Chains A and B, each alone.
Chain A
Amino acid sequence: MPSVEDRAALRRASVRLDDRTVLHEIELEIGPGVTVIRGRNGAGKTTLLRALAGLIPLSRGTREVGDDVLYLGHRPQLHRALSAQENLAFFARYRGLSTDTIEPALRAWGVVDIARPVERLSAGQRRRASLARIDVERSAVVLLDEPFSELDDEAFTLLAGRITECGARGQTVVIATHGHQELAGYRTVRLDAGTLVG
Chain B
Amino acid sequence: MRLARARLVAGRELRAERAQPDGLAAALGLVAILVFTESLLVGPAVAAAPGIAAALLWIALALATILAVTRSFDRELEDDALEALLVLPDGRDALYAGKLIAATLLLLVVALGGTALTIYLLDLEVALPFHLLLVTLVGALALPPLVTLYVAVSLRLRARALVVPLLALPALLPQLIAVSAGVTAAIAGDGGASLAWCGLLFAAALASAIAGFTIGPAAIE
Contacts and interface: CB of A to CB of B under 8 A. Distances in A.
Interface of A: 53-55, 67-71, 73-82, 86, 90-91, 93-95, 117-118, 126
A126 B87 contact: no
28 contacts: A53-B87, A54-B86, A55-B83, A55-B86, A70-B87, A71-B87, A75-B80, A76-B79, A76-B80, A77-B79, A77-B81, A78-B79, A79-B12, A79-B16, A79-B76, A79-B81, A80-B78, A80-B81, A82-B15, A86-B12, A90-B12, A93-B8, A94-B9, A94-B94, A95-B89, A117-B19, A118-B79, A126-B79
A97 to B, nearest CB: 12
A125 B87 CA distance: 23
Contacts of A55: 83, 86-87
Given A81-B19, A82-B19, A94-B5, A71 B83 contact: yes
Given A55-B86, A77-B84, A86 B79 contact: no
Nearest to B13: A79
Contact of B12 (A67, A77, A82, A118): A82
Decide if the interface of chain A is mainly helix, strand, loop or mixed. Answer: loop
Interface of B: 5, 8-9, 12, 15-16, 19-20, 75-76, 78-81, 83-84, 86-89, 94
Given A53-B87, A55-B83, A90-B12, A79 B5 contact: no
B79 A54 contact: no
A68 B89 contact: yes
A81 B87 contact: no
Contacts of B81: 77-80
Nearest to B5: A94
B78 A94 contact: no
A188 to B, nearest CB: 24
Given A94-B5, A117-B19, A126-B79, A78 B84 contact: yes
A130 to B, nearest CB: 9
B20 A77 contact: no
Q: Which of B9, B75, B94 has the most CB of A within 10 A?
A: B75
